[in-house]
Chains A and B, each alone.
Chain A
């Protein structure tokens, strides 16, 4: 379906029809709520659009936004859209990440993306300038303090209203050195196709209220927790991820206070809320307004749902409210969604047959087995295929790689034809995830690719291994990082194994932790130091991550607690 529409026109239509309706209510601990109406959001955004136009930035060019979670980030994002340019968010520097590593990552992002402009804070301008590669053609470095909301604006003066629906609308990156070199380019049409299909599956209406604590540089935060509610006319209550992680009850309190109906969480957050929230923080919390609390962005677990449901039933959490979704930036967001109003199916399968033969044979629940939680059925605009190692389509209950086709797939990995070519096979996007279909519902079992997922965030093990390899006493190239599922936390622990010669192990372990943390912003759950020759290599000399994971788990089990 072709719409003669783009993100700007859609936003402006809301501003024209319901100027005083709440678009976003931003919550920040210790500060009063900040409410943005559609008219207010458009005026703030139009200020950025005017500055970009005055700076000679052309529609279609990329603009990198480096701002923390807050009103300026929201206004800048839509300002880039209203100018018809292409926004991409670079996460802001954290207190842990080494400045030089951050700037090196920024530099490579700028080199690949070749943005026309960057928006940041005045206080951060010099750092950004220092990261500009010699061949950069950045024409404007805007500082958020210098941009005022437009006193007057009209749709005619905003170039974004003339954006071609087939043109690139936005870029999404995942985190880390590797992720920032891989921007997912999505068209206006793709975004609308996703909103239509996903909004339909969720039966969204203007009576919905979305509550989110997710960061906007992540696909779940950007699409489900930002663009979809704003463009669909569903008021968004937006918390800071930094506030939420220190006080998880804030999410439930916000749902209760604002009568939230929809919210998205990665699996670990269910465990985190169930285990860490104080009873006193639940006083008066009423979750009966929720239609769906959607578990997405990392493998979904039946025991996490059970824990959460049990803990919060007393707050009025309905029995069919917890839902699941399988999503990825490459498809804008959602690929599948469980049916709202009923708990996702649990498929009990024989673990041994799954591991041995890739055969998901159902067994009676009473007999015991692996409890697989369904991610629901594909959205109406998505076709799924499970593929064997030779690329042929497999029947139901056979485990293979998940491939998909839809009308909301990425155009390309921006300026990375090498990666784009490898991602597709005859028009099918190869996800790198492993799973099976049963009764047309999708069950995810693991990954073919080596990426580690912690708290919904994708981590590329190469980045960690490179950082650890620079520690004195560690053999570069004799390092391997992988994820190990931690059932208590409901997500993966990051483990790093390094070969060392003779130095004091405690010193090396501490140095590896510190180097990885400062170099990648990833906290390692365990550093396992081993003698030379321990790490299993493939015939091509690369560390075989899954084989080393098994060897590590066997070693830990044999050693008992350290």
Chain B
């Protein structure tokens, strides 16, 4: 079972490496990702694929927006709650 901290760390590493292409500079866990445009809409699908492959949690298309999660911490909490349930 992944802890929220552990999930956050993996998400941050993935976003830095695969999306922002700045592997040495991790995004802040509470930084806005979607509403800030750090992740554009085309990369949301990448993030959903990564979440499913890594944590076994399926994000619905309708959840890929800033209302459902906008930060790494919020996404990690969402994933942890699904895994618990």
Contacts and interface: CB of A to CB of B under 8 A. Distances in A.
A and B: real partners? Answer: yes
Contacts of A523: 37-40
Interface in A498-515: 506, 510, 513-514
Given A95-B66, A513-B37, A562-B24, A272 B42 contact: yes
Nearest to A520: B37
Nearest to A524: B37
A510 B28 CA distance: 11
Interface stretch (A130-138, A168-176, A242-250): A242-250
B61 A95 contact: no
Interface of B: 21-25, 31, 34-42, 44-46, 48-49, 61-62, 64-66
Contacts of A524: 37
Contacts of B23: 561-562
Contact of A96 (B21, B35, B44, B48): B35
Contacts of A526: 21
20 contacts: A29-B61, A30-B62, A95-B65, A96-B34, A242-B41, A243-B61, A245-B41, A246-B41, A248-B45, A276-B45, A489-B42, A506-B25, A513-B36, A514-B37, A517-B36, A522-B37, A523-B37, A523-B40, A525-B21, A562-B22
A270 to B, nearest CB: 13
B62 A29 contact: yes
B42 A455 contact: yes
Nearest to B31: A510
Contacts of B40: 523
Contacts of B62: 29-30, 246
A247 B36 CA distance: 21
Given A30-B62, A245-B41, 7 more contacts: A246-B41, A247-B45, A517-B37, A518-B37, A523-B39, A526-B21, A562-B25
Contacts of B39: 523
Interface residues on A, range: 20 to 34
Contacts of A276: 45-46, 49
Nearest to B17: A561
A517 B31 CA distance: 15
A510 B36 CA distance: 10
A64 B35 CA distance: 27
Interface in A236-276: 242-243, 245-248, 268, 272, 276
Interface string A523-562: 1111000000000000000000000000000000000011
B25 to A, nearest CB: 7
B72 to A, nearest CB: 15
A272 B66 CA distance: 22
A522 B64 CA distance: 18
Nearest to A505: B25
Interface string A188-202: 000000000000000
